[in-house]
Each structure stands twice: as C-alpha cells, then as structure tokens.
C-alpha cells in the first residue's frame, strides 16, 4: 500500500507529485549587495526537486524588508533572472517551487537598512531580539511606525514581487505571514499599537495581511498564492493578547480567497509543538476549507499519520531537508536520515549546503 503522504495532490493551480514540502529555510548565501542567488542555490534547490513542493528561503520584497545579511531578494530584474536559473533546474527535474515573499518589519538593524535608516514596522516598539549583521548577532534596532504612504507602498511592493516571481518562473508564491515579521507584527497586539485603520480592532490589525493577499492574488491568481502563519509562536519576540480569537477570524476570512494552501506552524517555530491553554489548531483547521500544510518537528510516522487521517494535506519538513536532499526517497524507504550540522545553517558556501549525500552516494 502506498501511504497517502507519497501520493499526488493539487494545491490550487499547483500539482504536487507527493504531499511532502520543503519548508522555507533561511541559509544566508545570497550576494549581500545585489540580493541575487547564485550557482550554489541552483544546485541546492535542484538536489531537493523530488519534494512535492519547494518553498524557497524567505526572500525580501524590497530593500527595507531585509533584516539579516545575505538573504535574497525578489524586487529587481537581476534577482528574478538569477532565480530563473533555480526554477528552470527544479522544473527540469519535475519539481515545483514557490518563492516565500518576506518583509522583516522590525526584525532588522540600521546597518542593513537603505541609508542606515530605522527599520519599518506598525509601531515604534523594539522587538527585543537579535538579528545577524556583518558584526555578528546584534540587538534589533528600534523601528519607526510606518506612515500610511509607506504601508501603501509596501503593499504595492508585494504585488511587484509577486509579478517578479512569475517572471522568474516560480509556480507561485508563499506570503510569509509568520514568525514575528511584518505581517505578524500588524496582526498581533504586542507589536501593533496603531490608532488608525491599521491597528486597534482585529479587523484593522488584519487589514495589512488581507490587502497584501488582495494585490498578490489579483496579480498572479489565488491558486498560485500560499500563506504561512504561526498563530501561537513566540518567534522574534511577538506577543498577542488573544491569538485564538484573532486566528479564528483570519482563517474564516481566508476561506473566501481560494488560496493554493495555508501553511501553519504548529507551536513554537523550530521548538516545542505544545500549545497553551485556550489555544487550538484543530479549531482553526475545522474552520478552514482549503488545502492545509502542517509544519514543525514532524517525523516520518507523524507525517504519515497526519496525511492519512486528513489532519493535514501536506507536511512541510525543514531541518531534515537541509541534510537530506533525497528526503522523499528516504521517507518512502524508511531509510536513515543524515544529521544536520547547525554550524553551517546560516552563511558560508557549499559546505553544509550542497554537500549532503543522497542514499546511493552514501552507500558508495
């Protein structure tokens, strides 16, 4: 019997060969000045093309949206042309790939901002966390509260980035609405103290997310647009007074969009899957009518069970995909997995990026 996890599925307009996705993984190997990916990225993603869907590393939609060194962009012709080499190789191997559209908001530092300015966020509240600059880990800079013009321009930059994504040959985009970055900052009360149309009520805090989705889906189609959320994750210092109420509202409204998929981080990003009292992913899952991608600390058995029961439609694996380019094959065969080396996650070259062996290679 073939387990459901290994069978094809259509996520909106994107047809996947199996229900295993490569989660977005920040690797900090792009050109720091131009934001372009290079030949190593072509090799890295091509090696992982047997994933049902690859979600690229988080990729900034404009220069202000950058918060770490050497992350790629998707806002210039040259960046799109560089990504095109990646998408061509993935497609040549029968894979599907979407680009994760990212704006860090307050998770940045003046050293990374155009003209050394302050990062842009809903409100001028420091996240109180660290980011990675040329000087190593440093405290995040206090952001300025975005003007309404800045908010409008940023939404327009999401639209342009989605257009560049299609030009670059991507099958679609995943809007990064998770992990304490800009969209999550608008959504959650701990980072949004605005008193205009973009803050205060739940409807106002969700306005930025939905306006981004409006322009992106209009530009490239809802069937090519995914969204990632982390309702209950404290990642990057984000807090919220009532995440259950907030995300029940968000998910209910998402039903009207017909997105390719909704990608949900279960628990604390990269950490414990436990939820606090009053928090329920099942309740969100019940409300949502479209394809659901689950993520966070899944192993083979959990993934097979979750797909079999219909709890999730697709499982996204993060760290296992760093060290196992042929993860799908290994899961199919119940073969052992390579261990990932944390010291090469962020930055550097081929080591820890393109040199993890596939099964056959390991056996040689």
* Residues at the interface with ligand 8OZ (CB under 6 A): 26, 58, 68, 178-179, 235, 269
Q: Which is nearer to ligand 8OZ, 244 or 269 (CB)?
A: 269
User: Smallest distance from the beta carbon of 178 to ligand 8OZ, in angstroms?
Assistant: 6
The reply to whether 181 belongs to the active site is yes
- Nearer CB in complex with ligand 8OZ: 108/260: 108
Q: Which is nearer to ligand 8OZ, 50 or 79 (CB)?
A: 79
Smallest gap, in angstroms, from Cβ of residue 104 to ligand 8OZ? 8
Q: Which of 68, 181, 261, 356 is catalytic?
A: 181
CB of 158 to ligand 8OZ, least distance (A): 16
Q: Taking the complex as a whole, how short is the minimal distance between the CB of residue 236 and ligand 8OZ, in angstroms?
A: 7
Residue 181 CB, nearest distance to ligand 8OZ (Å)? 7
- Alpha-carbon span 235 to 199, nearest angstrom: 21
- Identity of the residue, 178 or 284, whose beta carbon is nearer to ligand 8OZ in the bound complex: 178
Q: Please, which residue, 257 or 346, has the CB nearer to ligand 8OZ?
A: 346
Q: Which residues are tagged catalytic?
A: 181
């Amino acid at each position: 019997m073939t387990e459901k996890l290994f069978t094809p599925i259509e996520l909106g307009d994107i047809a996947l060969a199996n229900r295993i996705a490569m989660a977005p993984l920040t690797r900090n190997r792009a050109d720091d000045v131009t934001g372009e990916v290079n030949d190593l990225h072509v090799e890295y993603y091509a090696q992982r093309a047997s994933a049902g869907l690859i979600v690229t590393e988080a990729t900034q939609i404009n220069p202000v949206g950058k918060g770490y060194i050497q992350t790629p962009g998707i806002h210039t012709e040259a960046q799109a042309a560089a990504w095109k080499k990646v998408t061509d190789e993935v497609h040549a191997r029968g894979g599907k790939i979407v680009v994760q559209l990212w704006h860090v908001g307050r998770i940045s530092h003046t050293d990374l901002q155009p003209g050394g300015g302050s990062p842009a966020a809903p409100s001028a509240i420091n996240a109180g966390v660290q980011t990675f600059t040329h000087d190593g880990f440093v405290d995040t800079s206090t952001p300025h509260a975005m003007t309404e013009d800045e908010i409008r321009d940023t939404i327009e930059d999401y639209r342009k980035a989605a257009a560049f994504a299609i030009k670059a040959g991507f099958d679609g985009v995943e809007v990064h609405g998770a992990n304490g970055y800009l969209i999550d900052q608008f959504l959650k009360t701990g980072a949004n103290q605005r008193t205009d149309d973009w803050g205060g009520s739940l409807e106002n805090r969700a306005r930025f997310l939905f306006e981004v989705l409006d322009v992106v889906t209009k530009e490239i189609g809802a069937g090519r647009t995914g969204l990632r959320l982390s309702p209950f994750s404290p990642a990057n210092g984000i807090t919220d007074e009532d995440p259950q109420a907030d995300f029940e509202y968000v998910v209910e409204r998402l039903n009207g969009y017909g997105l390719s998929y909704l990608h949900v981080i279960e628990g604390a990003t990269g950490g414990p899957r436990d939820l606090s009292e009053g928090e329920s992913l099942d309740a969100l899952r019940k409300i949502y009518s479209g394809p659901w991608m689950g993520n966070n600390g899944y192993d083979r058995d959990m993934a097979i069970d979750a797909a079999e029961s219909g709890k999730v439609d697709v499982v996204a694996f993060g760290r296992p995909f760093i060290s196992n380019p042929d993860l799908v094959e290994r899961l199919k065969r119940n073969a052992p997995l390579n261990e990932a080396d944390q010291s090469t996650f962020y930055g550097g070259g081929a080591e820890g990026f393109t040199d993890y062996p596939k099964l056959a290679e390991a056996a040689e």
